[in-house]
Amino acid sequence: MSRTISVPFTSRRFPMPYRCPLCFEPLHAEATGLRCANRHHFDRAREGYVHLLPVQRKHSKAPGDDASMIQARRRFLDAGHFAALREELSARLLARQPGRMLDIGCGEGHYTGAFAEALAQTPANPPKITVYGMDISKPAVRLAAKRHRSAAFCVASIRELPYLDSSFDLVSRIYAPSEPSELHRVIRPGGELLIVTPGKRHLHSLRELLYAQVQEHDEEDPPPPGFALTDSAKIGHRMTLDGAQALDLLRMTPFAWRADESLRQQIAKRSRFDCEAEFLIRHYRRL
């Protein structure tokens, strides 16, 4: 039976990993949020997350996925269409038992929450596992923090991760972009990096609706600098969707920007849409 753990901002066994995004000094917990030695303060939202993306570091007024994309992804993932990937990743984390992990580009927290729930089943009192999630989209992080109380979330940029050096035993990157030097900085020596990318036939049928000629995804992906590949696997399955589910799938992908309203309506009216899901999973060790 799983148990829910409310993750505090700080812990005697696991000191807080956050650093100030303005001066890079360690952040410490206060009643209303986080503060560094230079008195930069960041409020904790009602949902429990902290906003660590200073306005001067934003490249737009509302960076990241918007509310419609986030809701589409939540509906699609909640329906279980990518459940095989979620279960596979959770099993891999259980086998590794990271003391503290980070999920970058966590979105609305679908995978982050699963990781926290899976790792919370390990016998420990107080709990040994702490899972962190971050995304640049404030609406996504708000949803994640509201639903998944067993993980700690923040709004931040991948370009400058708001975490101290060598803070994590494992970092996961599921379809998210990343800055390799920042990944290397926040993972401890000997720690792990878990990356999920599309297999060559991933969503091929969906892309056929958008492109005259569809190229398969390139599966070549050399290790990031400072990391060595230790394990890789591919999983995949066929999905049978109705029109509403197919439209949600489109909306949660970057391909949505290529679809005009006429195509969206055509997809929504379909009684059946068959599509491929194919994922590459790679584990790397930090050198």
pLDDT in tens, 162-172: 999 999 999 99
Q: What is the mean pLDDT of residues 138-152?
A: 95
Q: What is the mean pLDDT of residues 261-281?
A: 97
What's the pLDDT band for 129 if we cut at 50, 70, 90?
low
What's the pLDDT band for 60 if we cut at 50, 70, 90?
confident
Find the helix or strand (DSSP H, E) in which 143 lies. helix 138-147
Q: Quote the CA–CA distance of 113 and 97 in Å, as a whole number.
A: 16
What's the pLDDT band for 103 if we cut at 50, 70, 90?
very high
Position 1 pLDDT exceeds 50: no
Q: What is the mean pLDDT of the chain?
A: 91
Kindly report the length of the chain.
Answer: 287
Residue 165's pLDDT is: 97
Q: Quote the CA–CA distance of 135 and 144 in Å, as a whole number.
A: 10
Q: What is the bridge-based pairing of β-strands 130-135 and 41-43? A: unpaired
Find the helix or strand (DSSP H, E) in which 95 lies. helix 83-96
Residue-wise pLDDT tens digits, 178-228: 999 999 999 999 999 999 999 999 999 999 999 999 999 999 989 999 999
Omega cis (within 30) before 198: no
> 């990944």: which residue's tokens?
183
